[in-house]
Structure 1
Amino acid sequence: MKRKIGLFSLLFFLIFLIGCTSSAQNQSNSGDSSDSESASEETEVTTNEQNDEEPEKDESEEIVKEDEKDTSEDEKVESSFSSSDIIKDERTGIAPTRIEIPAIGVDTVIEHVGLLDNGQMDVPDGPDNVAWFEPGTQPGAPGNSVIAGHVDDTVNPAVFYDLHKLEPGDEVIVTDENGEKLTFEVFEKEVYPREDSPVKEIFGYSHRSLLNLITCEGEYDEETTEREDRLVVYTELKE
């Protein structure tokens, strides 16, 4: 009887021991699973944090790169040109000493004059000569060269009395002391009030080689001893 009780007790102990071992393993497996899930969650969190913390692109770096690109393009454009590509204007003029205008029968000497004390262009000494504005552009060079002449002496006709008769296509020929001649062609004529003449248009710079002929026009003013208007005939160098 005691032997049966002992065997029964031993069997019960073994069953209890097996149950504890199984429970411990389940707890261990459960713990491992929890640890694994926890580790997985931590990994996901870390990955998300890394993604969240990924540095944004530096806009200043992009701007610098764009500037470098633009500079590189500019350098390419500049390098495509050389000093040999620049066309120099080598046109030169002459110091005129004589003028001919076949259409109105003018053939006379050219005087060289400058400015008066009042800032106006000087005029030729007599009624039969004309005057070239020497401080300005030489005939033939780029710009506006100016030659002036009297229309009359209040009584008799002067050298530019018939200047108003010139028409587009008429020629004006100037010669220097060495005999070099330049031929200009009339393309326009205008009458301006004496006090409102376009000085820059008449005397200023132009890329064209122009020769402008000036004389008086209009009614004679006894007080100022001048006529009211100015006639300008515009001519251009014939190539």
Structure 2
Amino acid sequence: MLHPCLLHLTLVVAALPGSLKTADGIPIDSMTNWQLDNDAGWRAYYRGDLTRAEERFKSAIELVSPYQKADPRLLARSYCDLAQVFLGQSRYDQAEPLAKWALKVREKYPRIPIETIYQNLYVLAQIHCAQRRFPEAEPLLRRALVLQEKSLGREHAALATTLDDLAWVVAETGKLAEAELLYKRALAICTKKLQPDDLDIAIISEHYALLLRRLNRLTEAEWLEARAKTIRSDAAAAANRVVPVERTRGSTP
């Protein structure tokens, strides 16, 4: 079975009996092998084997590159996936053009899922953030947040990560008052939607505390830092000292 993300492509087998091509002219075996390579790439990525992930995504790209004129969306998918690998390897000069090309392609197709555009915007923003190019990252994160709100609602827990990253970027461009509002909103969502000992609450509390220290509001900063410390201690104890996977600055959701 093809991956659910392919459903929006309406890749229906042509009507002629025995046809081995999709309606977009991509051979069925190329489609199948592309999916296998892409899935293998993500499995490698999530276990931290970026070298293997790069190999599999490049193989996927080779399979669908000959058909990009007919429909470039599969190539855009693999380009954005490979861009995430390059981001993880700090190969920003290689990641950026891939993510930009993928976003340009995806924005041309009205039926591309909102989640796909969001993910592409977020990856490109993270590439800019990693290079401290905050004025370029800011509009991308703002667009990503709008898409998340439209797709998930204004209080979905997933918004907290985007708000947190946008607050950091906004603070780095000097808009400290707006950054504080974004951090407050992120924490309010986390407090309402997550368990009290969720690690995301600790992470955002620590980030907000850094801003408060810049504003010389030390008492508030210390309270948030103490809150984060308690959450981390409780989480570690509950997990019997098993360290959870933590989102770090510059990572993608």
Task: Tell me if TM exceeds 0.5.
Answer: no
Higher relative contact order (CA 8 A, sep 6+): 1
Computing the radius of gyration from Cα coordinates, the structure with the larger value is: 1
Q: Hey, which of these two has a bigger chunk of helix by percent?
A: 2
- Alignment TM-score, normalising by the size of structure 1: 0.18
Q: Hey, which of these two has a bigger chunk of strand by percent?
A: 1
- Alignment TM-score, normalising by the size of structure 2: 0.18
